[in-house]
Structure 1
Amino acid sequence: MILFLLPAGDYDPTEAAVPWAALRDAGFEVRFATPGGKVALADPRLTDLGFSWLSPWLMTRRAELAAYRRLTEDPHFLSPSPYADADPAEITGLFVPGGHAADMRTLLEDATAQQLFARVFTQGLPVGAVCHGVLLAARAKDPATGRSVLHGRRTTALTSLLELTGWNLTRFWLGRYYRTYRTTVQQEVTAALADPAHFLAGPPLPVRDTAARPGRGFAVRDGNYVSARWPGDCHRLAAEYLDLVRAHEAGAVHRPA
C-alpha cells in the first residue's frame, strides 16, 4: 500500500487529493496515517473560508476542491491509523503533502513520522513530498549516517519567493499564517543538503499546472524520491510519483546503498 502521512489538520487539499486521485485511478491502494489516528481535514481557509479579494488566487481551485471532496469520502481516509501503528512491512510507498497553517507542525515535528519517513526512504521505496512536506524529509535522519536522508540528493520544496509572497500579501490581517516557521522552507531544506546547489527552485515565475497540462508544473526526481514546490505543481508531481511507483513495481528504481 501507498501510505499518505497527514497532520492533525491544515494540510493543503490539492497537495493531498491530486496525487491520491492519480494513484487510486491507476488501481493502487492508498492508506492514511495521522498523529493520533483521527480523521484529518485540510486547511479550512483553502477550502471554505477564503482570503477575501485574494480568494481567486489563493484558494483551492474548483477541480482540485472536487477531488478533495471525493477524498474525504474514501473509507481509508475515514479510518486512518496513528503514525505509531503504521506497519513498515506493508508500506510500498510514502507520500507527504504540505500546508502552512499551524497544525502542519503535528506532522513535521513528530519523531515517529520522521523515523518512518527515513525507514521507507532508505529502503528505496517510492517517496514523494511537496511544499512544507519536504521539511519532513529534511528532518528525517538516516540512521547509518546521522544526516538528513536528503543529504546527497537533489530536491525542491516551497521556495522562499513563494512563501514570502504569500506572507506579504496576507500578513496585515492573517499575521504569520503563511509563515509556519521563522526560517523559510527553502532555507531549512537547503541546510540539510550536501550542496546548496542541490536545491532546485524551478522557474522564478511559476505557472499553475492542470490535469490537461501537467507539464506546466515543476518537479524534481532523484532516484526513489520526487518533490515539488506548491499546489500549482501537483498534477506534474502526481504523474511523476505514479511513474515512480510503477517503475518500482517493475524493478527499475535505484535503491540506496
Structure 2
Amino acid sequence: MARVLIPLPARDFDPTEAAVSWQVLVNAGHLVAFATPDGRAAAADDMMLTGKGLDPWGGIPLLRNLPLIGLLMRANVDARKGYADMLADPKYFAPRRWDSVNASEFDGLVLPGGHRARGMREFLESETLQHLVASFFEEQKPVAAICHGVLLAARSISRRTGRSVLCGYRTTALTWTFERSAWKVARITRFWDPDYYRTYLEKPGQPEGFMSVQQEVTRALADPADFVDVPTADPQYRRKTSGLERDSFDDAGPAFVVRDRNYVSARWPGDAHTFAKTFAEMLN
C-alpha cells in the first residue's frame, strides 16, 4: 500500500485525468491525498464535465443547457462516475496546501492535466509545485504525469543538474496534433472564445505550435527523439490517434502510455485508465 499525492489547481483541472487516476489507485489499495494552493477543495473544468458551453450556442444563457457537440467533447460516463465517487471521498474536501507537503511524506506523485488557462496557469507556473516535483525525481520516487501535467514536470528543475527533471527521460504528453485539432474545433464551436483549448499562445514571430505542450516539453529533453508518440507500426494506430476513442479499465487499445524507470506519462484523457493502471503496477 503506497501513499500517493495528487496536487490540483484551485479550478479547471481535467476531471477524467484526476478522477480516473484516483479511482484506479484507491481500488488497487493505495492511499491517495490531495493538495491545492489554499487547502480548499478544487473544482474541475465544468465544461469538461457537462459539455455545456462547447457548442456554437454555448454563450447563450438558456441554449447553453442543450449541449450537442459538447456531449462528444466532455468526460465520458466512466470518468463522470469516477469524478462523483472522488467527490464522495472525505480526503478530497480536506486537501493539504501545496506549500505544506513534502516528498518525504509520500511514495508516489500523480500530475493530472487540464487546459483551461484561467485555472491551469497557476498550477503549471507554481515554483512550489516545481520544487516538489523535482524532489520526487531526485529521490527516484514514482511519478506519473498526463497531458499538461507533463508540462509541469518539464518545468521542474533539478537542483543537482540545473536542468529539467525530464532531461534524460523518454516521455509523451499532449501532442500538438491533438492540441491543434481541439483548438481548430473550438474556433468554430466557441467562436467567441476560440482559444479555450490553448493554455499558452504563440507570441509574434513564433511559429505555430511553438507554445504547445509537445514543443515546450520537447525543448526540456536531452534529445528531441525522447518525446515519444504512437509509432505508425502499432497495430492499433488508428484507435490510438483518432482522438475519437478512449480507453477503459478493460480496454487499453486506444491508449498510449510511456514508462521510463520511475516515470509514467500519457497524452490525454483517453489514456487515463491505462496510465493509472501502469502507475499502480509500478507502485506495487
Work out which of the residue numbers 200, 205, 212 in structure 2 matches 1:181: 200
* In structure 1, C-alpha distance between the alignment counterparts of 2:270 and 2:112, rounded to whole Å: 13
Moved over 4 A (4+): none
Deviation, structure 1 residue 49: 4.5
Which residue matches 2:276?
238
Establish whether residue 70 from structure 1 lines up as the match of residue 107 from structure 2.
no
Secondary structure at 2:278's aligned position in 1? helix
Work out which of the residue numbers 227, 231, 240 in structure 2 matches 1:199: 227
Deviation, structure 1 residue 36: 1.2
Which residue matches 1:97?
112
**Pairwise CA RMSD:** 1.2
Which structure's CA Rg is the greater one? 2
Which residue matches 1:109?
125
* In structure 2, C-alpha distance between the alignment counterparts of 1:145 and 1:211, rounded to whole Å: 38
Question: Which segments of 5 or more consecutive residues in structure 1 lack a partner in the other structure?
Answer: 247-257
User: Which amino acid is 1:113 matched to?
Assistant: L
CA contact (8 A) 1:219 1:236 kept: yes
Work out which of the residue numbers 234, 241, 265 in structure 2 matches 1:227: 265
Secondary structure at 2:5's aligned position in 1? strand
User: Which amino acid is 1:175 matched to?
Assistant: P
Secondary structure at 2:80's aligned position in 1? helix
* In structure 2, C-alpha distance between the alignment counterparts of 1:116 and 1:166, rounded to whole Å: 31
**Aligned pairs, how many?**
246
Identity of counterpart residues, as a percentage?
46
Which residue matches 1:2?
4
CA contact (8 A) 1:217 1:232 kept: yes
Secondary structure at 2:44's aligned position in 1? coil
User: Which amino acid is 1:244 matched to?
Assistant: M
**What is the TM-score with the length of structure 2 in the denominator?**
0.84
- Structure 1 range deviating more: 177-186 or 81-90: 81-90
Secondary structure at 1:3's aligned position in 2? strand
Deviation, structure 1 residue 41: 1.1
Which residue matches 2:136?
120
What do residues 16-59 of structure 1 show as CA deviations (whole Å, max 9, x unaligned)? 01111111011110000111111101100011253233223210
Secondary structure at 1:173's aligned position in 2? coil
Which residue matches 1:28?
30
Question: Which segments of 5 or more consecutive residues in structure 2 lack a partner in the other structure?
Answer: 56-67, 202-210, 231-236
User: Which amino acid is 1:104 matched to?
Assistant: M
* In structure 2, C-alpha distance between the alignment counterparts of 1:4 and 1:227, rounded to whole Å: 15
* In structure 2, C-alpha distance between the alignment counterparts of 1:55 and 1:69, rounded to whole Å: 19
**What is the TM-score with the length of structure 1 in the denominator?**
0.93
What do residues 129-154 of structure 1 show as CA deviations (whole Å, max 9, x unaligned)? 00001011000001011100000100
* In structure 2, C-alpha distance between the alignment counterparts of 1:62 and 1:88, rounded to whole Å: 33
Which residues of 2 match residues 202-221 of structure 1 at below 5 A? 202=230, 203=237, 204-206=241-243, 207-221=245-259
* In structure 1, C-alpha distance between the alignment counterparts of 2:168 and 2:102, rounded to whole Å: 27
* In structure 2, C-alpha distance between the alignment counterparts of 1:19 and 1:215, rounded to whole Å: 18
